[in-house]
Amino acid sequence: MFVLVNLKTYPCDPVAVAEAVRDVNETTDARLAVAPQAAHLERVAETGVETWAQHVDPIDYGSNTGHALAESVAEAGAVGTLINHSEQRMKLADIDGSVQAARRADLETVVCANNPAQIGAAAALGPDAVAVEPPELIGTGTPVSQADPDVVEDAVDAAAGVDSEVSVLCGAGISTGDDVVAAGELGAEGVLLASGVAKADDPTAALEALVDPL
Ligand SMILES: O=C[C@H](O)COP(=O)(O)O
């Protein structure tokens, strides 16, 4: 299972969480990575953890202000990027542009979507993976695998119907090892989570509990 920890803009210490992700990754067959804010990418990547960006823009070098250029994100140490998170929503054409920009910079891509219909559209853009996240469950601690398991299974079917090479992750409310196992049983190849680790008093313990049953 791929466990991608999005730090969003939570007021955690990104380097401390990154070190916890790096160290717990050494103890498990699961693949763990962390997505800090853009301003923290370089410091996080220096820990040796697998580092992802939270966003890249559909732009190239040039006259753009306030954007995240895929090449700069890669130079800062990221190996992948989220695109179209529910908290950073994009138009379909711009999602397509960001996937292409990420590919140009050799960044792995996870395109997020709210529901299975959107997952089908996202998969058609040829990312490495898609992540289904019902927005109403984000940050609630109620896992999507429990509250709405059909969403995960339907997302897996929708992606497979478009492109069987595209992996499916699920996210929203995931905070325990049982949640991760349940996601896998529904067909997801990974999970996208944030508050369960970024807001934990002890991120290492939270991560260890996440991967323990895997
Ligand atoms: O990117 C992560 C997702 O929005 C899930 O967030 P959450 O784990 O706090 O529910």
Q: Is 206 in the pocket of ligand 1 (CB under 6 A)?
A: no
Q: Which CATH superfamily is domain 2-211 in?
A: Aldolase class I (3.20.20.70)
How many whole angstroms separate alpha carbon 28 and alpha carbon 31? 8
Q: In what order do the strands lie in the sheet with 108-113?
A: 31-35, 2-6, 190-193, 167-171, 129-132, 108-113, 80-83, 52-53
Which pair of tokens denotes residue 49? 């953890």
List of residues 6+ apart from 133 with CB closer than 8 A: 85, 86, 112, 113, 114, 144, 170, 171, 172, 192
Q: Quick one: pLDDT at residue 35? A: 98
**Strands 167-171, 108-113: parallel, antiparallel or unpaired by DSSP?**
unpaired
Q: Which helix (H) or strand (E) holds 182?
A: helix 177-185
Mean pLDDT by 10 residues, the chain (214 residues): 98 98 97 98 98 98 98 98 97 98 98 97 98 96 92 98 97 96 97 97 97 95
Query: What ipTM was assigned to the predicted interfaces of this complex?
Result: 0.99
**Full-prediction pTM beyond 0.95?**
yes
| 179-205: pLDDT as tens digits | 999 999 999 999 999 999 999 999 999
Ligand 1 geometric centre to CA of 185 (Å): 19
Q: Ligand 1 centre and the CA of 62: distance in Å?
A: 33
Token representation of residue 55: 């966003």
| Binding site membership of 133 for ligand 1 (Cβ less than 6 Å) | yes
Q: List for the chain the helix, strand, coil content (%; round to 5).
A: 40, 15, 40
| CA Rg value for the chain | 16
Tens-place pLDDT, residues 51-87: 999 999 999 999 999 999 999 999 999 999 999 999 9
Q: What is the pLDDT of residue 46?
A: 98
DSSP state of 86: T
- Pocket flag, ligand 1, residue 82 (CB < 6 Å): no
Q: So what's the pLDDT on residue 21? A: 98
Predicted local distance difference test score (pLDDT) of residue 151: 97
For residue 67, give the DSSP letter. -
